[in-house]
Structure 1
Amino acid sequence: MVAMGQAALSGERLRQADGFLAEAWADMARHDERLRGVTVEVSFDRGVAHLTGEVADPEQLRLVRELIGRLSGVLGVWCRVGVAGRPPVVVDLGCGATKQWPGNLGLDIYPAPGVNAVANLAGSLPLRDDSVDVFFAVHIVEHLIDFLPLFDECHRVLRPGGVLHVMSPWWRHVNAVADPTHVRLLDVQTFKGICGQRPPGTPRWYPLHVGCDGASVFADLTPLPPDAPAPPPSHLARFFD
């Protein structure tokens, strides 16, 4: 979590930190018996861990995500990992011509070279229930006056254990206000109310990871079932005041 008024981390510092994180993960992978035989490939880009490859079962992927998320300096754990021979279904929301990975399904309100289907992200997504493993919402939430309906749709469409990856400008950084099409300002604390504190009967989320580098806010969220308890205060304290 970034203290109020802290400047954005420099690109050089983030690159150096990526080298540290790569070494820390390699050391963990060598010495943690639970990771024996895990073939997930991990790379770090400005504090974001990118996971590719395949695992034998969902619990193995959950373990890898959790362990990487514990490393100091990790801002998010973005994944495109197959489970038990099934490739993941990954959707880029508001992708325009640029996707996080070329094979992702791109949804946007306007047609573009990277868009597979035109959809109004403020309305219903043209996707079946429990059909997606990963959503990317990278630099899209700040363009929506009310992003909760989109999150609710992602909650509906994600499979159990699926992840919604969010990246948006931090409200105190110039990038948040320099673009006149930005209509929402976000902070790490914005996600506190989404994660377990919404009214009964509304979709709730469990925060796998939430962070800020002084320029952008990151959140990795997984949907909670309707009857699941709220995330424990000890877990929320990792990210929120």
Structure 2
Amino acid sequence: MVALALTPPSAERLRAVDDFLAEAWADQALHDDRLRDLAVRVRFDRGVAHLTGEVDDAAQLRLVRDLVGRLAGVFAVWGRVRVAGRDPVVVDLGCGGTKQYPGNLGLDLFPAPEVDAVADLSGSLPLADDSVDVLFAVHILEHLIDFLPLVDECHRVLRPGGVLHVMSPWWGHVNAVADPTHVRLLDVQTFKGICLQRPPGTPRWYPLHAGCDGASIFADLTPLPPDATPPNTPHLSRFFT
């Protein structure tokens, strides 16, 4: 369980951790034959691993994501990677004036230069079923009184193997309550509930990664089909109590 005394790392500490992670990944990529010829670039920014480049198939991308996520100090694994020559469809939910990667499709309630389509995120997303590879919900869920309908919509529009990236203020940090437009408090355990404790018949998720840096929480989730095997206890124990 995340302790209340958890203190966000300083900027200097985060830079040092990023340097360590970069060295650790370079060493692993050098000595792991499965990685040596893959054209995937990994950049670390405040504990978030950013993957770019290209792979031949989805299995290679899953391998890179899994191995990067196992490095101690990684809070999330975000990416925009071409698979078999196809650019991924990446959508920023509530992007405002900033997208996570240039070229993403930006959705927001209010028009702005980076917004490609105006949409109310508390309702239905203007996206087709199984049409998106990556969804970013960065500082969005805490603004919604009921964010589960949006989570369900994300499940609907993601392709099999797609990923939903969430980042929100941790409930134990002042940032969670300093903004008067925040109406929900979140914890890593919130995503345990989303993945494991929702009623039968609701969309199911598999947690690829989840973490907290003392100020923000992160969760990388991939949709599960109704008949899929649920995540096992050893995997869940990496993230949840």
Output the TM-score relative to the length of structure 1.
0.98
Q: How many percent identity over aligned positions?
A: 78
Tell me, in whole angstroms, the C-alpha distance in 1 between the residues paired with 2:234 and 2:42: 28
1:198 positional shift: 1.6
Tell me, in whole angstroms, the C-alpha distance in 2 between the residues paired with 1:159 and 1:165: 14
Aligned length: 241
1:2 positional shift: 4.1
Q: What is residue 85 of structure 2 aligned with on the other side? A: 85
Q: What per-residue deviation string (whole Å, max 9, x for no partner) do you get for residues 59-86 of structure 1?
A: 0000000000000000000000010000
2:96 counterpart of 1:57: no
Give yes or no for contact 1:195–1:230 (8 Å, CA) kept in 2. Answer: no
Q: What letter matches 1:187 in structure 2?
A: D
Superposition RMSD in Å: 0.9
User: Where in structure 2 are the equivalents of 1:145-164 lying within 5 Å?
Assistant: 145-164=145-164
Q: What is residue 27 of structure 2 aligned with on the other side? A: 27
Tell me, in whole angstroms, the C-alpha distance in 1 between the residues paired with 2:5 and 2:230: 31
Q: What is residue 183 of structure 1 aligned with on the other side? A: 183
2:204 counterpart of 1:199: no
Q: What per-residue deviation string (whole Å, max 9, x for no partner) do you get for residues 158-194 of structure 1?
A: 0110000000000010100000000000111110011
Give yes or no for contact 1:88–1:134 (8 Å, CA) kept in 2. Answer: yes
- Report SS of the residue matched to 1:230: coil
1:4 positional shift: 2.4
Tell me, in whole angstroms, the C-alpha distance in 1 between the residues paired with 2:150 and 2:50: 24
Q: What is residue 228 of structure 2 aligned with on the other side? A: 228
Q: What letter matches 2:209 in structure 1?
A: H
Q: What per-residue deviation string (whole Å, max 9, x for no partner) do you get for residues 108-139 of structure 1?
A: 01111110000000000000011000000001
1:7 positional shift: 1.1
Q: What per-residue deviation string (whole Å, max 9, x for no partner) do you get for residues 38-59 of structure 1?
A: 1101100000000001100000
Q: What is residue 70 of structure 2 aligned with on the other side? A: 70
- Report SS of the residue matched to 1:151: helix
Q: Name structure 2 gaps, 5 residues minimum.
A: none
Give yes or no for contact 1:168–1:217 (8 Å, CA) kept in 2. Answer: yes
Q: What letter matches 1:94 in structure 2?
A: G
Tell me, in whole angstroms, the C-alpha distance in 2 between the residues paired with 1:198 and 1:186: 16
Q: What letter matches 2:23 in structure 1?
A: E
User: Where in structure 2 are the equivalents of 1:133-152 lying within 5 Å?
Assistant: 133-152=133-152
Q: What letter matches 1:188 in structure 2?
A: V
- Report SS of the residue matched to 1:176: helix
Tell me, in whole angstroms, the C-alpha distance in 1 between the residues paired with 2:76 and 2:219: 7
Give yes or no for contact 1:195–1:231 (8 Å, CA) kept in 2. Answer: no
2:171 counterpart of 1:171: yes
Tell me, in whole angstroms, the C-alpha distance in 1 between the residues paired with 2:152 and 2:47: 28
Q: What letter matches 1:17 in structure 2?
A: V
